[in-house]
A and B are shown apart, each in its own frame.
Chain A
């Protein structure tokens, strides 16, 4: 059962033996950015860090869960990397509780994070008054991407609200297209549910669900209508959707075989790779009933507590470099995300990202992502129920609501 863990330890042991003694500011960074666009983006960090006088040692591990597991194992095993990637949110809670992370309070004060970062993101890296990680980007998770060509063929206008969406999907269906490109894997089934919940329920309901675990709200009429909207979307996906990868779903939109896809802004990387420009061949929008509700997540780097002072210096240098305006904007261009700093000039970004940077500056338009509100164990337990409901035609809305309410009231 522990093969992966012991493999991690073995790899860790290798690094101990291989690490050359060095007095300069050498930073070994564990991250999971391995695809084409991602590695171009992380190279921006590496180049900027080198320009500032450091040595970047890249430890890229494919797959978020694998990378986090390796980083945590090495930290617990006493051979921590200099910095490690997490998603913005609760993934590093246990490390903070076990006093395995160094704080970056000095950095946060020097750069005045409270003024330059969205308040929810500062809060997401703060525990007991101390700041424990550097946010590096913002990813919007509830975009709707559509193929202008497919919409044109079905004679449909791009939807602007949830009310518009279903007639548009119907038209796409009767035009013989796949109305909704979908990747039927558990986390995307949950992400689609979150899309509907944020879009139709707005900020307060979303936070009441994942953050406050409000069982009374779950049993109310508004949540029920959200659940029903979600299930209704199932009529518009194709039979090949179960098990499909998200990028394969995106390529259905790219090829014009499917009309639309709900996905985070990382999908732009696929469109870009296919030579498409937002606003021209494809469009992007966020559907929302209550003003704007932009679901914001992102990535952070956390720094394990170290004994070696030269390494501590490397950590401080890295923390500063990651948030410098030049680094921020170049990284966002490559990654498809938007800068986490609100005071940088975003005019060089694509149209979707420019739309988003307006919402990011407006606290009322923001919804904190799932990972910011709930621990992975709870998220996973709810995800199983959502996935079951999406796939099982015999499961009723009542059963779903009861199961969700039971799980929310359990201890995690």
Chain B
């Protein structure tokens, strides 16, 4: 019986496994191979060693993209976690209209990055967005033009992405908070510990699993950040808000430089594996993970 059901499970999983092997691993190894060739618009098989990688490292747009994704990743993940947790903690106070508030905060997540990007682009555009409205209201000296300033543009992307993802983090955290034993709260109240300390030193460590889940979800949207940059700034002004995935897409198609694009994609893959692997390991090995798995 046991063996029979296991076999059935394996048969049921086989197509998915096959797709994963052929589509993901196959495409991945092909991409890695192509990055060692001199491919231009079409893939070629002339081996050139690490030439694509050396021109990638020397490419200024790539350097800017890497710096940007680091800034974006750090700020986006930490701000989204903080804001999401804060929202969850506030809603957890059994406020009135909780359902409505939950929907409102989660709502941005239902929008695609393209819509989010366009909406924020219009909001931030100095000639018809917030700046224009404030000036029309009489604040002549009002300045808010970060989206058109090369050194600030990346932070507008962070703002839009945090707005987009904070609701999701809130939902994950809220689920975690609802799982906290009410007895624990009673105990801390008896001991007279201030609420903020309970949250910071007792609840947050308890929600380790929720945090890990949220971080992994947020991290994947950092790695594949593409559409937000396209819709909001199109990498501009100049190359100020370029990101690695956009570098790959542009070089793969528009610029007919498949060799360089695959070198960039391979570099991204290695980085993602290096960042995500320890996180997954951490989540797997956390106390209690075995029992619930």
Q: Is A410 engaged at the interface, CB distance under 8 Å to the other chain?
A: yes
Q: Contact partner of A387 among B31, B147, B239, B260, CB < 8 A?
A: B239
Q: Is A238 engaged at the interface, CB distance under 8 Å to the other chain?
A: yes
**Residues of A at under 8 Å CB distance from B?**
1-2, 4-5, 65-66, 68-69, 72, 76, 91, 93-95, 98, 184-186, 238-243, 375-377, 379-381, 384-385, 387-392, 403, 410
Q: Is B40 engaged at the interface, CB distance under 8 Å to the other chain?
A: yes
Q: List 30 A-B contacts (CB under 8 A).
A: A1-B31, A4-B249, A5-B252, A66-B253, A72-B42, A94-B40, A94-B41, A94-B42, A95-B41, A184-B148, A185-B236, A186-B236, A239-B126, A240-B148, A243-B147, A243-B233, A376-B41, A376-B254, A376-B257, A377-B251, A377-B255, A380-B250, A380-B254, A381-B59, A385-B60, A388-B238, A389-B238, A391-B236, A391-B238, A392-B150
> Is B239 within 8 A of A377, CB to CB?
no
Q: Interface code B20-45, partner A: CB below 8 Å = 1, 0 otherwise?
A: 00000001000100000000111000
> Is B128 within 8 A of A240, CB to CB?
yes
Q: Interface code B227-244, partner A: CB below 8 Å = 1, 0 otherwise?
A: 000000111111110000
Q: Which residues of B contact A4 (CB under 8 A)?
A: 249, 252-253
In addition to A93-B41, A185-B234, A186-B234, 5 A-B residue pairs with Cβ atoms within 8 Å of each other are A184-B236, A376-B254, A384-B61, A390-B238, A391-B236
Most chain A CB inside 10 Å of its own CB: which residue of B148, B233, B238, B245: B238
> Is B257 within 8 A of A65, CB to CB?
no
**Residues of B at under 8 Å CB distance from A?**
27, 31, 40-42, 55, 59-61, 121, 125-128, 145, 147-148, 150, 233-240, 245, 248-257, 260-261, 265
> Is B41 within 8 A of A239, CB to CB?
no
Q: Which residues of A contact B31 (CB under 8 A)?
A: 1-2
> Is A240 within 8 A of B240, CB to CB?
no
> Is A375 within 8 A of B148, CB to CB?
no
Q: Which residues of B contact A76 (CB under 8 A)?
A: 42
> Is B239 within 8 A of A384, CB to CB?
yes
Residue of A nearest to B42 (CB): A94
Q: Which residues of B contact A242 (CB under 8 A)?
A: 147-148, 233, 236-237
A240 to B145, CA, bound (A): 9
Q: Which residues of A contact B239 (CB under 8 A)?
A: 384, 387-388
| Closest CB pairs A-B (n = 7) | A240-B127, A391-B238, A380-B255, A391-B237, A94-B41, A242-B237, A377-B257
A283 to B8, CA, bound (A): 75
Most chain B CB inside 10 Å of its own CB: which residue of A72, A388, A410: A388
> By DSSP majority rule, is chain A's interface helix, strand, loop, or mixed?
helix
Residue of A nearest to B224 (CB): A1
> Is A239 within 8 A of B234, CB to CB?
no
Q: Which residues of A contact B121 (CB under 8 A)?
A: 243
A94 to B39, CA, bound (A): 10
Q: Which residues of A contact B60 (CB under 8 A)?
A: 384-385, 388, 403
Most chain B CB inside 10 Å of its own CB: which residue of A66, A184, A238, A242: A242
Q: Which residues of A contact B237 (CB under 8 A)?
A: 184, 242-243, 391
A410 to B260, CA, bound (A): 13
**A65-B254 contact, Cβ under 8 Å, with A1-B31, A384-B61, A391-B150:** yes
Q: Contact partner of B238 among A65, A93, A375, A392, CB < 8 A?
A: A392
> Is A98 within 8 A of B42, CB to CB?
yes
> Is A243 within 8 A of B238, CB to CB?
no
Q: Which residues of B contact A375 (CB under 8 A)?
A: 40, 256
A357 to B97, CA, bound (A): 70
Q: Which residues of A contact B126 (CB under 8 A)?
A: 239-240
Most chain A CB inside 10 Å of its own CB: which residue of B128, B236, B257: B236
Residue of B nearest to A65 (CB): B254
> Is B127 within 8 A of A238, CB to CB?
yes
Question: What's the least CB distance linking B53 to chain A, in Å?
Answer: 14
Q: Which residues of B contact A376 (CB under 8 A)?
A: 41, 254-257
Residue of A nearest to B264 (CB): A1
Residue of A nearest to B232 (CB): A243
> Is B251 within 8 A of A380, CB to CB?
yes
A409 to B162, CA, bound (A): 42
> Is A391 within 8 A of B240, CB to CB?
yes
Question: What's the least CB distance linking A227 to chain B, in Å?
Answer: 15
Question: What's the least CB distance linking B101 to chain A, in Å?
Answer: 34
A65 to B249, CA, bound (A): 11
